[in-house]
Amino acid sequence: MRLLTHNMLSSNIKGVTNGFPLRIEIEKVVEKQVEFNPDFLKNMFPKIEWKALVNASHSMGYVELPEEVEPSRLDSEDFLHKFHHALLELHLEEGALVCPETGRRFPVSKGIPNMLLHEDEV
């Protein structure tokens, strides 16, 4: 699971109002090279919750992203490469996503999060 996906996932349990961002529990992180595509990054940037991405990348051991960022930074090649790495190249391979409100764990196995709910959670 890429951090792009983490940035797009919220806790889906019934009644939860603050389900984003999911906390990340890490057992295994892998890095996979992805072709650099600045247009995609510029396109996605306004849709990304920056703070969630920064914290998620921190928890995966990547500390290069600035805490705060102005859209003008998108002109910097260096910044785009860091954004690219955090968003697309860091994968949570094994671990869990944890609902920030209820503490419910959604397991991630072989890079695939399981967001299926139990009957009493729907």
> In angstroms, what is the minimal distance from the CB of 20 to another protein?
7
Q: Does 49 bind another protein (CB under 8 A)?
A: yes
Q: Which stretch binds another protein (CB under 8 A): 6-14, 23-31, 59-67, 71-79?
A: 6-14
DSSP codes of every residue in 30-82: EE------HHHHHHHGGGS-HHHHHHHHHHTT---S-SS--GGGGG-HHHHHH
Burial 3-41 (b: 16+ CB within 10 A, else e): bbbbbebebebeebeebbbbebbeeebeeeeeeeeeeeb
Q: Does 94 bind another protein (CB under 8 A)?
A: no
The 3-state DSSP class for residue 106 equals: strand
Q: Does 57 bind another protein (CB under 8 A)?
A: no
Nearer to another protein, 71 or 110 (CB): 110
What's the CA gap between 108 and 87, in Å, rounded? 17
Q: Does 100 bind another protein (CB under 8 A)?
A: no
- Judged by CB under 8 A, the residue of 26, 44, 74, 98 near another protein is 44
> In angstroms, what is the minimal distance from the CB of 65 to another protein?
19
- Judged by CB under 8 A, the residue of 18, 27, 30, 34 near another protein is 34
Nearer to another protein, 63 or 110 (CB): 110
